[in-house]
Amino acid sequence: MKTFVKLLLATAAIAAQPAQAAVTVGGFTLDTTVFGAQTGVHSTGTQDPNDTLTGFVNKDGSGVTFSTTTGNLSITGGGEATINGDPKIENLNVAFQKSWDSVTFNFAGTGSVFSLLVNGTALFSGADCCTIETSGQYTVTGAGINNLAFTFSPGISDAKQFRVKGVSAVPEPATWGMMLIGFGAVGSAMRRRRVMKPSFI
């Protein structure tokens, strides 16, 4: 009975340890408690080891590029892309053709610590937010996510389950041009003054 009580207390103590909390930096949030069923990033099939691989967003077709500056990456098989390191992934850059409001990912490398640079501006780093736990599942949210740059210490064996959600509305250059012309027309109309003729009674 004493052994059972000790086991129960040990299990409760492990379960009571807090999970990594959501961390917000520069308008982006990195969270380990949310991992949704968004649209997956897929590969057209096996891609031999190289420093740059390509994929696409399923049902959307927009491009995704995976690259590294150390070693090589490879993808085995089609469907949802699993990026393997050759031998390990020490850094990984994920560039999206479109901008998204939410991106999820999953890393195999329990105990590794990573840093994440979102869109070249928001840096997540340190053991408090970025230690890979058993599940290895993360979600980063914020408007206009189009680039994720990871560094791992030590390197991880694979990265998978890249999923995206919510295309951010970023006007194209032609739309910006039309908006500026419209604002200019409204401004000139407001500035135009009517010449008032005096009235004699």
Domain ranges of the chain: 19-191
Residue appearing with tokens 């990033």: 41
Q: Indicate the class that CATH gives domain 19-191.
A: mainly beta
- CB under 8 Å to 122, separation ≥6 — which residues? 25, 26, 27, 28, 142
Report which of residues 34 and 165 the model is more confident about. 165
pLDDT digits (tens, 9 = 90+) for 139-161: 999 999 999 999 999 999 999 99
Predicted model pTM: 0.74
Pairing of strands 137-167, 47-50: unpaired
pLDDT digits (tens, 9 = 90+) for 21-67: 789 999 999 998 777 768 999 998 899 999 999 999 998 899 999 99
- Rounded CA gap, 163 and 40, in Å? 4
